[in-house]
Amino acid sequence: MQNKTRKAEALVNVAIVLVAVAVCAVLARQYLWAGAAERSRGPEVGTRVELAGLNLAGEERALLIVVSKDCRFCTESAPFYRRLAGEAAARGGRVKLFAVVPHDAEEGRRYLGELGVAVEQVTRAHPAALDVSGTPTLIMLERGAVSDVWVGALPPEREAEVLAKL
């Protein structure tokens, strides 16, 4: 009888631990990761973008590529950025690509050059100046105002969405 009681207590204890872990996981997902996803959406559509040193004068449409040389996802996204630059050029340059980096602009030029990504201009600014909480982020501008935002390393269907906007 005593042996059965110990086994029952052990099973109850295991069940309590499993329920506690499940509750913690649900709470963490709701309050930690959901908040991070909300914060990393980027600037609101319609917001005007004005960064010191970023020369968008006369540009009807522009695509800002917000990257960092320290960002693994930025480096992994380089083939897509090369494709973006090629497609933009092939479509007559209706959309110009600009890079915004949190480090020295010259470092940013070297980094993008190593990746083979051609842009019109590289500007130094902290991503927070654009309401961006992480890199990589793409921001499409129409006459200086945000029209679309894509955050993070993009899956193929999201890449196709960006290419369709060129």
**Strands 121-124, 95-101: parallel, antiparallel or unpaired by DSSP?**
parallel
Which tens digit of pLDDT belongs to each residue from 44-98? 999 999 898 898 888 999 999 999 999 999 999 999 999 999 999 999 889 999 9
pLDDT score, position 39: 45
Which amino acid is present at 79? P
Q: Is pLDDT of 34 > 80? A: no
What pLDDT score was predicted for residue 5? 80
**With 70 as the cut, is the pLDDT of residue 100 above it?**
yes
Token pair belonging to 110: 């070297």
Whether the CB-CB separation of 98 and 77 falls below 8 Å is answered with no
Domain ranges of the chain: 1-39, 61-164
**Confidence band for 24, pLDDT divided at 50, 70 and 90:** low
The pair of structure tokens assigned to 50 is 């004005």
With a CB cutoff of 8 Å and minimum separation 6, the contacts of 75 are 69, 115
Domain 61-164 is in which class?
alpha beta
**103 pLDDT above the threshold of 70:** yes
So what's the pLDDT on residue 22?
Answer: 74
**Mean pLDDT, the chain, integer:** 88
Taking CB atoms within 8 Å and a gap of at least 24, the contacts of 153-161 are 153/73, 153/76, 153/77, 154/77, 154/80, 159/80, 159/83
Judge whether residue 104 has pLDDT over 60. yes
Residue tagged 């319609």 (tokens)? 46
